[in-house]
Amino acid sequence: MSALEPDPATTLSRPAARSPARRRARAYLALTKPRIIELLLVTTVPAMMLAARGLPAPGTVVATLVGGALAAGSANALNCYLDRDIDAVMQRTVNRPLVTGEIAPARAAAFGAVLGGLAVAVLWVGTDPLAAGLAVVAIGFYVIGYTLLLKRRTPQNIVWGGAAGCMPVLIGWAAVRGRLDWAALVLFGIVFLWTPPHYWPLSLRFRSDYAAAGVPMLPVVAGPVQVARRILAYAWATVACSLLLVPVAGTGRIYAAAACALGASFLLEAHALHRRTKAAGGTITPGIAPMRLFHASISYLTLLFVAIGVDSLLRW
């Protein structure tokens, strides 16, 4: 009997009989990393609104979100398949379905491939061939570029590998306009530059995990002060790029004010992390609280793109 099959002696109700299927469904959902997908989609709709100078066609929005979610789920599932060996070593990932044995590796790989095929089909039919092609690039870069080539070889893995997470804004833009413009590239730049100051605080928090798994994240190969200094540099670059959207995309006062206020808050947290790491004498202690910046970075990006959407609605 499979470990996920109910014992006939204890199966007393229909809900209990369905529980293995629900557990299996949750396991497959976990492979897609839903929280990451949510953050990716937060950037997509405002990018579409900016491209459309207002509200894009509802059908295009739905197709883009569905296709984008499928593409991200595909990349994440394939990432779980390829990283199952190091996931088994790291405490923060030991409960992933491929580590616990809830899903067989071959099935996880097939699941990821199917999601990718569906994503391309949905975007091709529902939006534009360019959007579908960009989804293929995003999946391929995350799986091959980041997971296979960069992650285990260089401390710059998240810098260049993070480009895959920037693709939703390009996909959304292409879905509306059928082409890419300079404003879309600025949006790409915002997310690209934001990724290191978002992810490196998490890597600081789980440095021992990455070290045990042999993954050369920057905090594994560099001291906390050096990491905090680089985080600060990328945070400044992110805010500068966000302000570049004003002249390039013609955004209005609402976005400009939000970008300044949110940027100031983001930079304050980045500077605070830098001060705490210096005060800790170059050691990683609970007192440096890197997760404060991690969570602040999520709020920053979310609210910045909300401001793009609101500005687009009110300006056009």
Question: What is the per-residue pLDDT across 246-297, written as a single tens digit (0 to 9) for each?
Answer: 999 999 999 999 999 999 999 999 999 999 998 887 677 777 899 999 999 9
Confidence of residue 181 (pLDDT cuts 50, 70, 90): very high
pLDDT at 70 over 50: yes
Q: What was the pLDDT predicted at 216? A: 95
Mean pLDDT of 164-190: 96
Q: What was the pLDDT predicted at 162? A: 87
Q: What is the spatial distance between Cα 16 and Cα 6, in angstroms, rounded to a whole number?
A: 8
Mean pLDDT of 110-127: 97
Judge contact between 10 and 137, C-beta under 8 A. Answer: no
- Which segments of 206-252 does DSSP mark as H helices, in order? 207-213, 218-221, 224-249
Q: What was the pLDDT predicted at 255? A: 97
Kindly provide the residue ranges of all beta strands, DSSP E only, lying in 85-200, ordered along the sequence. none
User: Which residue type is seen at 224?
Assistant: P
- In the chain, where are the structural domains located? 21-179, 181-316
pTM value is 0.90
Query: Which of residues 173 and 91 earns the better pLDDT score?
Result: 173
Mean pLDDT of 191-210: 94
pLDDT, tens only, 15-39: 444 588 888 999 999 999 998 888 8
Mean pLDDT (the chain) is 91
Is domain 181-316 classified as CATH 1.20.120?
yes
Q: In the CATH scheme, what is the homologous superfamily, with its name and number, of domain 21-179?
A: UbiA prenyltransferase (1.10.357.140)
pLDDT at 10 over 90: no
Q: What was the pLDDT predicted at 284? A: 73
pLDDT at 5 over 50: no
Which pair of structure tokens corresponds to residue 220? 């594994």
Cβ partners under 8 Å of residue 67, min gap 6 = 119, 120, 122, 123, 126, 127, 131, 132, 135, 171
Q: What is the spatial distance between Cα 62 and Cα 122, in angstroms, rounded to a whole number?
A: 10
Judge contact between 263 and 243, C-beta under 8 A. Answer: yes
Lowest mean pLDDT among 7-21, 47-61, 64-78: 7-21
pLDDT at 147 over 50: yes
Q: What was the pLDDT predicted at 18? A: 54
Mean pLDDT of 167-172: 96
pLDDT, tens only, 201-236: 999 999 999 999 999 999 999 999 999 999 999 999
Which pair of structure tokens corresponds to residue 40? 């990716």
Query: Which of residues 40 and 238 earns the better pLDDT score?
Result: 238
Confidence of residue 95 (pLDDT cuts 50, 70, 90): very high
